[in-house]
Amino acid sequence: MLFGKLSFSAVIPIQSGYSRLPMSAAPSHSTASDARLFARAVAFCSFTDVDEQARAFDGWSLNYTQISGGLFRGSSSIVSLGGIRLLVEHLDKVILQQGSVPSDRFAVAVPLELEGHARMCGEKSSRDSLHVFSSGPEFEFFSPDRHVLVNVEIEPDGLSSEPMRVLAASLLGRPMSPLIPMAADAADNLRQLLKQTLAAAAQAAPGEQADTDDRIELLERTILYAISEVISASSPEAANSHTRPTRYWPLVNSVQERLQDASTCPLSIAELCVQLGISRRTLQYAFQDALNLNPIAYLRAVRLNHVRRELRLGDSVTSAATTWGFWHLSSFAHDYRVMFGELPSVASKRYARQVA
């Protein structure tokens, strides 16, 4: 049982260790005709640190901030199929995901499980929403604690045939909303297709090179045209009826920007409200509407995440805590343990062992 209630034991073989796969799997021997082998090799890893999990997205600029408390347990399983890469990601905490996709990739995600308050670039997302991570230069995804997504990355130049390369390039250059609503039956069909594709990729045995190339092309075509159909089937009426970004999202982003520099990071809601020129009530309402979260809890969570990154870089517990405004060290240790499931002293020693 790999992902909670969703059994992927027949889909993705669990391997010990983790290796990052390139977008196009390299052959074990090189000739002019051997472009790539069938990529049934699957990378799998479980994580207890959100920053480590974010690095599973090869080439992305990505930052994860853990918002809900408790020891994080997540996992990523990766299958590389020529010009298409599938990454099944499981998260069990509320995470603020911020980043960007390489400009030469078209990246979408299909939720297998997405229960709780979720926002994609300010829009309310759901299990039947196609999440388009490459829709803009950057994205913000506020993901709930019941989160299993199949991320589909398509690199047009890596696809097996010219018609597919042309179609993928057109998708990459087409203006899109961060969320595309899917009809319930279309969403279910796409989820089932991706599960079957993952199963085929994991179970099929590589044969002769020609047979291998045929398999890769078949899987590429299956995924690419299914994604394209879902996008084309999204009517203007459905798009117009879809939830628009909350008007408070720019305010949330403004708060987030102010929390990135320790020298200017507000240490209290009072200080934050003065900096923004708004009332405490307005701030409270904005965060409740946008994130279903108390701004006090959000401010504390972001600062604690910064402390954890400082500890990973080798700072002492006292130095990291005071840098981010935690002066009462016993209270800080309690808050850190509630947020991450371990004391900061334990985390510091563990990071030191990893470096050694």
Confidence of residue 355 (pLDDT cuts 50, 70, 90): confident
Instruction: Flag whether pLDDT at 338 surpasses 70.
Output: yes
Q: Give dist(CA 50, CA 98) in Å, integer.
A: 12
- 294-309 pLDDT, tens digit per residue, is 999 999 999 999 999 9
Return the structure tokens found at 68: 């809900």
Q: In the predicted model, what is the mean pLDDT of residues 195-220?
A: 73
Q: d(Cα 331, Cα 339) in Å, to the nearest integer?
A: 12
Helix (H, G, I), strand (E, B) or coil at 88: strand
Give the full edge-to-edge strand order of the sheet including 74-81: 42-47, 74-81, 84-91, 146-154, 106-115, 129-132, 179-181
Cα 187 to chain centroid distance, Å, stands at 19
The predicted structure's pLDDT at residue 211 = 55
Q: Measured between alpha carbons, how far is 12 from 121 in angstroms, rounded to an integer?
A: 30
How large is the angle between the packed helices 344-355 and 295-312, nearest 10 degrees? 30
Domain spanning 249-355, CATH class: mainly alpha
Helix (H, G, I), strand (E, B) or coil at 300: helix
What's the DSSP call for residue 318?
Answer: H
- Whose CA is closest to 47, among 95, 6, 115? 95
What is the residue extent of each domain of the chain? 42-241, 249-355
Closest by CA to 153, choosing from 128, 171, 141, is 171
Strand spans (E) along the chain: 42-47, 61-66, 74-81, 84-91, 95-100, 106-115, 119-120, 123-124, 129-132, 139-143, 146-154, 179-181
Residue length, the chain?
A: 356
d(CA 100, CA 235): 27
Query: Residue 276, exposed/middle/buried by CB under 10 A (0-12, 13-18, 19+)?
Result: middle
In this structure, are residues 176 and 99 in contact, taking their beta carbons and an 8 Å threshold? no
- Out of 2.60.120.10, 3.40.50.970, 1.10.238.10, 2.20.25.160, the CATH code matching 42-241 is 2.60.120.10
For residue 46, the 8-state DSSP code is E
Determine contact, residues 312/51, Cβ cutoff 8 Å: yes
Model pLDDT, residue 320: 98
The encoded tokens of residue 50 equal 């959100």
Over residues 32-60, the pLDDT tens digits come to 333 343 454 577 899 999 999 999 999 99
Hey, which residues does 142 pair with through a beta bridge?
96, 119
pTM assigned to the model: 0.84
Mean pLDDT of 73-97: 94
Q: Compute the Cα dihedral for 186, 187, 193, 197 and give only its sign.
A: positive
What single string gives the DSSP state of each residue in 241-259?
A: HSPPPPTTHHHHHHHHHHT
pLDDT for the residue 234: 75
Which token pair is 272? 């934050």
Span 255-278, pLDDT tens digits: 999 999 999 999 999 999 999 999
Of 318, 337, 338, 314, the C-alpha closest to 326 is: 318
